[in-house]
C-alpha cells in the first residue's frame, strides 16, 4: 500500500485522528462499553496497552472531542463524550460490534446443541487475530460419536460462516486425546467445562493434523490462489467440474467435493483465494481434492509446473 501523500482537514475528517491508531480503537471500545469513567491505569490494564501508550493516546482523544477528562492531577478520569454526534455514533458502533460477537456465540451454541448427538463440550479454542484467519472451535465427544458429530456440525456451520463472514475450523477430541494441560479455551459454547488436565498424546481432528505441511503442496496452493484472483472464471469452471464428478458418485471423495461446492457457493472471491492458500487443517485436507487443478488452462498448468514442480 502506498503511503498517504497528502494530509486531510481534521475538521472535516476527524475520524482520521479518532481511529488513527489501534490504541485509540481499543480505548474507545473500553470507554464505550464501560459503566462509568475510568483512570488511565485501569484503561491500560483492561485494553492491554502500555502506560506510555495510554498517556500518548488519551490527550489526542480528548483534543478530538470524543473523550472527556474529569478531575485533577493523578485523579483524572476519562469517559466517552456522549454529548456529541460522534460520541453517540462511536457508542453505537461498538455496541454493534459487541452484539455481533454475542450473536455469533449464540448461533454457534444453536448449531452445536443437537439433542440426538449431544457433545460433552464445544468451545472457542482460538479466535482470528488477522483478517481472513479462521476461528478454531474445539469439540469433545465420545470416540464413536466424534466423527459423525463433526461432519454434521461442519454442514451446519456453513450458514453461520455465511451470516457472519467468518471461517470456522473444527478440532475434535476424545477424552483420551486431550493434551496433558488441556486445549486452549477462550469461550465455552455448549456442554460442560473441560477438565484442566488429561493424559494423552495430543489432539485428533476430522479436519486433519496441525503438523508440518507439504511445502510443495502449499507452494502450488499459493500459485492456484493467485490464479483464481487473476482469472475468476476458474470458480464456475471448478463448480461445473464438481457437478460432473458427483454425478459419477466418487464414494468417500464425494463428501469433500460437496464441501468444496458449498465453499464455492458461499465464499466471496477474495475469501476463497485466501482459503485455498491457507495453512488451516480444513484447507490442508480439502487441498487433496482441489477442483481447481483439473480446470486450469494449459498455460496455467505450465506456470504451476515451472514455479512449483
Over the stretch 252-266, which tens digit does the pLDDT of each residue have? Answer: 467 788 889 988 998
User: Using one digit for the tens of pLDDT, what is the confidence trace for 46-83?
Assistant: 999 999 999 999 999 999 999 999 987 678 999 999 99
Cα-based distances in Å from 117 to 113, 141, 143, 149, 153? 8, 9, 12, 6, 10
Mean pLDDT of 78-105: 94
Q: Is the pLDDT of residue 182 over 80?
A: no
Q: How many angstroms separate the CA atoms of 139 and 118, rounded?
A: 11
Give the confidence band of 186 by pLDDT, cuts at 50, 70, 90: confident
Predicted local distance difference test score (pLDDT) of residue 195: 63
Predicted local distance difference test score (pLDDT) of residue 181: 67
Q: Is the pLDDT of residue 106 over 70?
A: yes
Grid cell 497528502 in the structure block, residue: 6
User: Using one digit for the tens of pLDDT, what is the confidence trace for 118-166?
Assistant: 788 899 999 988 888 899 999 998 888 888 899 899 999 999 999 999 9
Predicted local distance difference test score (pLDDT) of residue 180: 67
Predicted local distance difference test score (pLDDT) of residue 204: 41
Mean pLDDT of 72-99: 92
Mean pLDDT of 11-36: 91
Q: Is the pLDDT of residue 205 over 60?
A: no
Q: Is the pLDDT of residue 208 over 60?
A: no
Predicted local distance difference test score (pLDDT) of residue 11: 81
Q: Is the pLDDT of residue 227 over 80?
A: yes
Q: How many angstroms separate the CA atoms of 139 and 149, rounded?
A: 9
Q: Is the pLDDT of residue 199 over 70?
A: no
Q: How many angstroms separate the CA atoms of 262 and 244, rounded?
A: 15
The percentage of the chain sitting over the pLDDT mark of 90, rounded to a whole number, equals 43
**Chain-wide mean pLDDT for the chain?**
84
| Phi, psi angles (nearest 5°) of residue 124 | -80, 115
Amino acid at each position: 500500500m502506498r503511503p498517504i501523500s497528502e494530509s486531510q482537514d481534521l475538521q472535516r475528517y476527524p475520524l482520521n485522528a479518532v481511529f488513527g491508531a489501534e490504541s485509540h480503537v481499543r480505548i474507545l471500545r473500553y470507554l464505550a462499553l464501560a459503566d462509568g469513567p475510568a483512570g488511565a491505569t485501569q484503561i491500560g490494564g483492561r485494553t492491554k496497552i502500555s502506560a506510555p501508550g495510554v498517556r500518548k493516546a488519551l490527550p489526542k482523544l480528548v483534543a478530538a472531542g470524543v473523550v472527556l477528562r474529569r478531575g485533577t492531577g493523578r485523579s483524572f478520569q476519562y469517559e466517552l463524550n456522549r454529548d456529541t454526534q460522534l460520541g453517540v455514533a462511536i457508542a453505537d458502533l461498538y455496541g454493534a460490534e459487541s452484539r455481533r460477537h454475542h450473536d455469533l456465540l449464540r448461533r454457534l451454541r444453536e448449531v452445536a446443541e443437537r439433542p440426538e448427538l449431544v457433545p460433552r463440550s464445544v468451545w472457542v479454542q482460538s479466535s482470528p487475530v488477522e483478517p481472513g484467519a479462521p476461528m478454531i472451535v474445539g469439540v469433545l465427544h465420545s470416540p464413536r460419536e466424534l466423527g459423525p458429530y463433526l461432519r454434521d456440525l461442519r454442514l451446519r456451520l456453513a450458514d453461520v460462516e455465511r451470516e457472519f463472514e467468518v471461517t470456522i475450523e473444527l478440532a475434535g477430541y476424545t477424552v483420551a486425546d486431550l493434551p496433558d494441560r488441556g486445549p486452549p479455551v477462550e469461550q465455552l459454547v455448549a456442554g460442560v467445562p473441560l477438565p484442566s488436565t488429561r493424559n494423552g498424546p495430543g489432539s485428533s481432528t476430522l479436519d486433519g493434523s496441525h503438523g508440518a505441511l507439504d511445502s510443495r503442496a502449499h507452494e502450488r496452493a499459493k500459485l492456484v490462489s493467485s490464479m483464481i484472483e487473476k482469472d475468476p472464471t476458474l470458480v464456475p469452471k471448478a463448480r461445473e467440474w464438481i457437478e460432473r464428478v458427483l454425478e459419477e458418485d466418487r464414494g468417500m471423495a464425494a463428501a469433500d467435493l460437496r464441501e468444496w461446492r458449498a465453499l464455492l457457493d458461499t465464499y466471496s472471491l477474495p475469501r476463497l483465494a485466501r482459503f485455498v492458500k491457507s495453512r488451516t487443517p480444513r484447507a490442508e485436507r480439502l487441498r487433496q481434492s482441489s477442483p481447481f487443478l483439473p480446470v486450469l488452462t494449459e498455460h496455467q498448468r505450465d506456470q504451476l509446473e515451472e514455479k512449483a514442480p
